[in-house]
Amino acid sequence: MPALRMPQARVLAWGLMPTPARIHVAHALHEVFGEGGRVPDIWDRDLGEDAHLAQALLGLCLRRWGRLQAWVKPQLKDPDRGVPLGTRVVLAMGLTQLAWLPGVSDHAAVNESVELAANRDLGFLPHKGLVNALLRRAAKDRATLAAELEALPAALDRSPAAERALRAALAPHQAEAEIEALWSRLQQVPRPDFRLLKGEAPAGLRPEADLPGCLCLEEGAPFPRPWLESAGGMVQDRSSQALLAYAWDRPVPRILDACAAPGGKTTTLALRHPGAAITALEVHPRRAARLRQSLLQRGIEAQVIQADAAEWLEGSEAAFDLILLDAPCSGSGTLQKHPEWPWLKHEDLPRLTGLQRRLLGAAADRLAPGGLLIYAVCSWLPEEGDSHRAWLEQARPDLRPAEVWPAALGPAEGAVGEATARFRPHPLRWAGEGFQGFAVRRAGS
Ligand SMILES: C[S@@+](CC[C@H](N)C(=O)[O-])C[C@H]1O[C@@H](n2cnc3c(N)ncnc32)[C@H](O)[C@@H]1O
């Protein structure tokens, strides 16, 4: 665990106020566990240096939530009585600091949690005494607390949605030892990958031997913000980079990126196929605006159209030589980067799979003779990928699998010699995000 610079607790006339970092974390935990909502991307924007503490604290609370709650339960007078969310949040935060953040003093971990417990929105005032007593006791032996928490089964931290995602990731074999190994990998804080766009990479970024253009952050190196802001490079997960390293040497003068924001893949497409006319669709106005801005900043030419891709494609006569459909999805493959994913409401899956199917059918109709269509989702769930592939195979006999990736990136049963038309890196042999996809081509000149 990196040493953390500790925020100063602000002592006001009426006592100790929790730092903004802790208040932000408590808000985020309420959003996730109360509403099933995501932690907003910019949740730690105004925290300055305390953002490190906030990120570490939130990440640990989300990743160890089940064990933290299981540890608390037997300590209660009436363990079967429901505990208000405010108490659970505050205790999880206090215990996490005591167990896993050695740079936080006992005093800060306990007293700020007690103050949070008294907060009307974030805590539960009647449990202020309980929080105080429990944390004070735990603070007496932090090493034992950590050992007791670590000794609880890791499976407690998995929601049913996470369990399903893991099993889908390892299907069809799903040996229990593999499930635990994958879960343990997904609990590590991920290191971002980058793609070089121009010039030289800054110090601290190491080229990835097997994936030209991919750079990884070396241990302890600072996050290369100035380089990203100067458009020298962009953050792009290695799975996205490998997906876009498809082998295809036919000319592709007309490219469609059907679901384009924030534009990482549009950028890569433009760099791979200089001179191609690129159309980039995005349904959400704000994301479309951000897409336009990023492309402009990177000097990428593309026609950005803010539209529902299904409607736009169904009403279009245009034909494309290369279509990328990086479809909206559950994001089950991103749960390492988004530790709140297991706890989100996942009730819109049928709507998403319906949309994916509609987008795929409409995109297939716009594929020019000889053209290539790549469908991808950052999800392991079969209904978001493999089922669509099987459907397309039946519904569109004019399309044929296109073996555009090295066989090692696909499932064993999908390989044709050294290549595969199915992109599905094995999660235990590939350190990138969980992705699945497939490529088809239309016969013709
Ligand atoms: C997986 S993300 C795409 C990521 C992007 N390809 C990249 O690499 O930067 C899916 C995008 O599709 C957009 N989207 C969702 N439904 C859409 C629709 N019906 N038409 C067009 N875009 C849609 C989402 O807003 C989101 O920005």
Q: Give the model confidence (pLDDT) of 261-298 as tens digits.
A: 999 999 999 999 999 999 999 999 999 999 999 999 99
Average pLDDT over residues 56-78: 95
Q: Does residue 65 contact residue 344 with C-beta atoms inside 8 Å?
A: no
- Point out which residues pair with 415 in neighbouring strands: 420
Would 58 be classed as within a structural domain? yes
Pocket (CB within 6 angstroms of ligand 1) = 240, 259-265, 281-284, 287, 308-310, 326, 328
Q: Does residue 262 contact residue 286 with C-beta atoms inside 8 Å?
A: no
Give residue 68's Cα distance to chain centre: 23
Residues 200, 120 share a domain: no
| CA 365–ligand 1 middle distance (angstroms) | 19
378 is catalytic: yes
Residues 142, 56 share a domain: yes
Question: 18-22, 47-51, 191-195, 247-251 — which is least confidently predicted?
Answer: 47-51
- The active-site residue out of 214, 216, 329, 378 is 378
3-class SS of residue 306: strand
Q: pLDDT tens across 340-388, in order?
A: 999 998 878 999 999 999 999 999 999 999 999 999 999 999 999 999 9
Please identify which residue in the block is written with the tokens 């799903």: 174
DSSP calls for 100-165:
H-TTS-HHHHHHHHHHHHT-TTTS-GGGHHHHHHHHHHHHTTHHHHHHHHHHS-GGGG--HHHHHH
Omega prior to 172 cis, within 30 of 0: yes
Residues 430, 384 share a domain: yes
Locate the ligand 1 atom nearest the alpha carbon of residue 257 and give its number. Answer: 6
Order of strands, sheet of 419-420, starting from the edge strand that comes earlier in the sequence = 405-406, 419-420, 415-416
* Whole-number pLDDT of residue 301: 97
Q: Which of these three, 172, 203, 235, is where a domain ends?
A: 235
Q: Name the band, by pLDDT with cuts 50, 70 and 90, for residue 94.
A: very high
Query: Is the pLDDT reported for residue 335 higher than 50?
Result: yes
Residues 275, 415 share a domain: yes
Would 98 be classed as within a structural domain? yes
Residues 369, 222 share a domain: no
Residues 326, 279 share a domain: yes
Q: How far apart are CA 284 and CA 261, in angstroms?
A: 9
Q: pLDDT tens across 253-266, in order?
A: 999 999 999 999 99
Locate the ligand 1 atom nearest the alpha carbon of residue 281 and give its number. Answer: 21
CATH code where residue 96 lies? 1.10.940.10
Would 170 be classed as within a structural domain? no
Would 57 be classed as within a structural domain? yes
Residues 377, 282 share a domain: yes
* Whole-number pLDDT of residue 5: 36
Over the Cα atoms of the chain, what is R_g? 24
Locate the ligand 1 atom nearest the alpha carbon of residue 263 and give its number. Answer: 9
Phi-psi region of 200 (alpha: psi -120 to 50; beta: other; left: phi over 0): beta
Q: How far apart are CA 253 and CA 244, in angstroms?
A: 17
Q: Which of 400, 404, 435, 398 is CA-nearest to residue 417? A: 404
| CA 295–ligand 1 middle distance (angstroms) | 15
Q: Whose Cα sits closest to atom 15 in ligand 1?
A: 328
Locate the ligand 1 atom nearest the alpha carbon of residue 324 and give its number. Answer: 6
Residues 403, 326 share a domain: yes
Would 175 be classed as within a structural domain? no
Query: Is the pLDDT reported for residue 43 higher than 80?
Result: no
CA separation, residue 74 to residues 80, 143, 229, 420 (Å): 9, 19, 50, 52
Q: Which of these three, 184, 205, 235, is where a domain ends?
A: 235
Would 347 be classed as within a structural domain? yes
* Residue 78 identity (one-letter amino acid): D
* Whole-number pLDDT of residue 17: 64
Q: How far apart are CA 186 and CA 195, in angstroms?
A: 22
Q: Whose Cα sits closest to atom 1 in ligand 1?
A: 328
* Whole-number pLDDT of residue 46: 79
Residues 252, 360 share a domain: yes
Q: Which of these three, 157, 182, 207, is where a domain ends?
A: 157
Q: Whose Cα sits closest to atom 6 in ligand 1?
A: 260
Would 179 be classed as within a structural domain? no
Q: Does residue 257 contact residue 267 with C-beta atoms inside 8 Å?
A: no
Q: How many domains does the chain have?
A: 3
Residues 208, 151 share a domain: no
Kindly report the average pLDDT of the chain as a whole number. Answer: 92
Task: Choose one of 282, 332, 355 to mutate for the ligand 1 pocket test, by most ligand atoms within 8 angstroms of C-beta.
Answer: 282
Q: pLDDT tens across 166-185, in order?
A: 999 999 887 899 999 999 99
Write the burial class of residue 241 (CB in 10 Å: 0-12 exposed, 13-18 middle, 19+ buried).
buried
Residues 369, 336 share a domain: yes
Q: Which residue has the higher pLDDT, 258 or 212?
A: 258
Would 339 be classed as within a structural domain? yes
* Whole-number pLDDT of residue 280: 98
Instruction: Give me the domain span that covers residue 202.
Output: 193-235
* Whole-number pLDDT of residue 131: 97
Omega prior to 262 cis, within 30 of 0: yes
Average pLDDT over residues 317-328: 98
Residues 361, 293 share a domain: yes
